[in-house]
Structure formats: structure tokens, C-alpha cells
Amino acid sequence: MLLIPGPASRELGEEIARLAQLELGKLESKLFPDGESYLRLESNVERREVAIVQSTYPPQDRHIMQLLLMADNLKSLGASRTVAIIPYMAYARQDKRFLEGEAISIETILKMFKHAGIDEIITVNIHSPWILQHASISVTNLDATGLLARHSHNLGLSSPLIVSPGKKGEAMASVAAKEIGTDFAPVHSERDPHTGEVKIIVEADVKDRDVLFIDDIISTGGTAIKTVKTLKKLGARRIVVSCIHALMIGDADKKLLEVGAEKLVATNTIPNRYAEVSIAPLIAQYLKRER
Ligand code: R5P
């Protein structure tokens, strides 16, 4: 298998290739003055299985377009099979019609990837894993919760209570708690589809406890900020906030630190300043096992 890092994930792609002991392919990329992407494959891909690594963090549309260009180009240059490693899958949060007439973006995105010639997708903690059962393309969803929890635990928290919002968060918290041998508590978040307003209810006694907040994604930070505020009000001691996908839109990180988070920790599915945990070993291990 040849591995080609896309413009959005050069460093991560190189790390995966090194750990999985895969040959590294070469791709030239640049932006035209009008913002369109130019890509030129410099490796021979004829009759080869090729993995491309391209995360689709902001600017999502550009990174998706580059992924489509890469995949279609591979197909037309004779690659036998294309695997797309998409550490952060954009457009995954609109997975159903919350309001009548809305576009179900994740379905559209997956159809586009398939049409461009992608045979298989490997992603990490996709927002709605349940949609994958009926997806138009084979998607493997790897879970980085264990990696993140282990790293965060090593920061010196004392028997931290793990909290994570929502039903999916509860499952995530349970995985993290098992990983480091501690307990977890459900946190309910309710988002109003019209105003975006989020309400938080923590179902535990957090007084004088260290807390590890863990979530799949921090976007505007609204959910995490409200949870940290609630935890502080309830008397929590040290609070570390961690997430797999750190979008950190606007001042999300600054606000989190202001309301009482002691430290922020994230993975590198999206390049960010809190990326202390690399998901490269998780992906490399999967590639080695499956191939
Ligand atoms: C919700 O289902 C997710 O797990 C996150 O809690 C949420 O999407 C984060 O978004 P924001 O940072 O904008 O509150």
C-alpha cells in the first residue's frame, strides 16, 4: 500500500506512514490566486492500493474538494483501490432532519466520496456512528477515547470523575473510566434546535473531586463551557477538558480556561495547539492489522 498525505494532513500522514511502515507517495499542491486547489500526483499509482490522508476540518469545503480531486485523480491514473483516511469528518453533525426540509449533509458527503472512487473510509470518532450501518460506502470508525483518557490521566488528576455530555458521551465516559480505572457520571445536554441554547445537568456529587471532561468534539465550546461552569458551581476541584476533535471556533479555548478549566487536551485529528495526543498509532495499528 502507498500512503499519500493530502494538503490538510501532511504531518499526520507522514507519521502514519512511518508507524505503519508504508511507502510514502508524493503530491504537489497549491492554491490558485482565486482560491481553487491545484493538485499533482508525483508517484506512480497504477494497479496499486493507495491510502490518502486528508482531514476535513475548516475550511471544510476546500479540504473536501481536495479529497475529491485526489480520489478521482487516483482512479483515473489507474490505482486499484483507494482508502481515504479522514481523521475529522466534516458535515457529520447534520445526520438527520431536525427541521423539515433540511439537507442531511453527512449522507451527501458520503455519496460524493463514493462517486469520486473512494472504496473505503477510515475515520475517528465520527459524530453519528449509527448512520454508518446504512452508509453508501464502507466506513470504519476508530475510537480514540482510550488514547485520550490515558494521556489526560497522566496529567496528575486524583481519581478523576469522568463526565461527558449526552447519550453518546455517556458511552465515551464509560470507555474512558474503564481505561483508567475510575468512575463516570452522566451529563445531559439539551440543545434547542431553533436557538442553539444548551442546558446542562450533571448527575453526580462532584464536590472536591477532580474531573476529566471528555467529548468527541469542541466546536463553539458552548457545551463544554456550560458543563465546566456547572461543575465549578457544584464544587469540583481540578477540571481538565479534553476532546478528540478540537475545532475551538473563535475564543472557545480562552473562554474554557476563563470559566475554570485548568488545562485543555486534544488529539491531532485537527491541527491545534492542544494536540498532545496523536491518533497516528491508532490508525497505523488498524492498517497493519487489516492489511
Ligand atoms: C454533542 O453531541 C457533541 O458531543 C458536542 O458536545 C457538541 O457538538 C459540541 O459543540 P459546541 O462546542 O458547539 O457546544
| Model pLDDT, residue 28 | 97
Q: For ligand 1, say whether the CB of 220 is within 6 Å of any of its atoms.
A: yes
User: Does 6 have pLDDT greater than 80?
Assistant: yes
Which sequence spans correspond to the domains of the chain?
2-143+279-290, 146-268
State how beta strands 27-31 and 37-41 pair: antiparallel
Angle at 268 (CA atoms; ends 163, 165), nearest 5 degrees? 20
Buried b or exposed e, range 110-137, using 16+ CB within 10 angstroms: bebbbebbbbbbbbbbbbebebbeebeb
Report whether residue 223 contacts ligand 1, using a CB cutoff of 6 Å.
yes
Q: Is the pLDDT reported for residue 190 higher than 80?
A: no
Cα of 151 vs centre of ligand 1, distance in Å, is 21
Which residue do the cell numbers 472512487 mark? Answer: 117
Kindly report the number of other CB atoms within 10 A of residue 80's CB atom: 13
In angstroms, how far is CA 266 from the centroid of its own chain?
Answer: 10
Cα angle at 267 between 126 and 119, to 5 degrees? 40
Specify the CATH architecture of the domain 146-268: 3-Layer(aba) Sandwich (3.40)
Neighbouring residues of 239: CB distance < 8 A, sequence distance ≥ 6: 210, 211, 212, 213, 228, 231, 232, 260, 261, 262
- 2-143+279-290 shares its CATH topology with 146-268: yes
Q: How many CA atoms lie within 13 A of 263 on its CB side?
A: 17
Cβ of 94 closer than 6 Å to ligand 1, yes or no, is no
Closest C-alpha to 137, from 124, 118, 152: 118
pLDDT above 90 (res 61): yes
Closest atom of ligand 1 relative to the 165 alpha carbon: 6
Q: Using CA atoms, how far apart are residues 36 and 58, in angstroms rounded to an integer?
A: 15
pLDDT exceeds 90 at position 188: no
* Per-residue pLDDT tens digits for 74-90: 999 999 999 999 999 99
**CATH of segment(s) 2-143+279-290:** 3.40.50.2020
List the one residue out of 62, 59, 66 whose CA is nearest residue 13: 66
Q: Is the peptide bond before 59 cis (omega within 30 degrees of 0)?
A: yes
Which residue type, as a one-letter code, is found at position 215?
Answer: D
Phi-psi label, residue 226: left if phi above 0, alpha if psi -120 to 50, beta otherwise: alpha
Q: Which three cell numbers stand for residue 99?
A: 427541521
Ligand 1 nearest atom to the CA of residue 198, by list position? 14
pLDDT in tens, 7-55: 999 999 999 999 999 999 999 999 999 999 999 999 999 999 999 999 9
What is the Cα–Cα distance from 261 to 258, expressed in whole angstroms? 7
| Residue of the CA atom closest to atom 9 of ligand 1 | 218
Q: How many residues does the chain have?
A: 291
Q: Ligand 1, from 216, 220, 259, 264: best to mutate by most atoms within 8 Å of Cβ?
A: 216
Q: Max CA-CA distance within the chain?
A: 61
**C-beta of 117 in contact with ligand 1 (< 6 A):** no
Alpha helix (H) residue ranges in 24-140:
60-76, 105-115
Nearest alpha carbon, ligand 1 atom 10:
219
Which band of pLDDT confidence, cut at 50, 70 and 90, is reported for residue 5? very high
Q: Are 123 and 106 in contact (CB under 8 A)?
A: no
* pLDDT number for residue 275: 98
- Dump pLDDT digits (tens) for 196-253: 776 788 889 999 999 999 999 999 999 999 999 999 999 999 999 999 999 999 999 9
What's the pLDDT tens digit per position in 108-160?
999 999 999 999 999 999 998 988 888 889 999 999 999 999 999 889 999 99
| Cα–ligand 1 centroid distance for 80 (angstroms) | 38
Burial 28-37 (b: 16+ CB within 10 A, else e): ebeeeeeeeb
pLDDT the model gives residue 178:
96
Nearest residue to 162 via CA among 128, 129, 206: 206
